[in-house]
Amino acid sequence: MGVGAQENASLEKSSHGDDAKSEPKYDETFSGPIVEVTATKITVSRSILGKPAEKRSFWIKPDTRIEGKLRVRVKVTVGYVTTDDGDVARLVVVRTSQKPADKK
């Protein structure tokens, strides 16, 4: 039964990845669909039940990490910091739908 113990040990090691080191630092997050995207700026709309829709624009800098393809209407989560220049995106993650599209 030593093989099972070895597998468990390797699983525990792999669950502690190095991704935390390489992830950019950000203070807050904002999620919703993209309503406008340019080379230097992204605008995201967020709807919360019982409140009016909120739009927020974020600057995209050369050190902004983008995971996925940015285009209008895709859902994203933006990790950002607020600076004197405005909100600067540090990490933009495109969210894919979890359920497969059902075409009839």
Considering the domain boundaries, does residue 80 fall inside one?
A: yes
Domain extent at residue 67: 24-104
Number of domains into which the chain is organized:
1
The string of pLDDT tens digits covering residues 14-73 is: 334 344 446 789 999 999 999 999 999 999 999 989 999 999 999 999 999 999 999 999
If one counts every other C-beta atom within 10 angstroms of the C-beta of residue 33, the result is 14
The pTM of the full predicted model, rounded to 2 decimals, is: 0.70
Considering the domain boundaries, does residue 7 fall inside one?
A: no
If one counts every other C-beta atom within 10 angstroms of the C-beta of residue 43, the result is 15
Helix (H, G, I), strand (E, B) or coil at 47: coil
Return the CATH number at 45.
2.40.50.320
Considering the domain boundaries, does residue 86 fall inside one?
A: yes
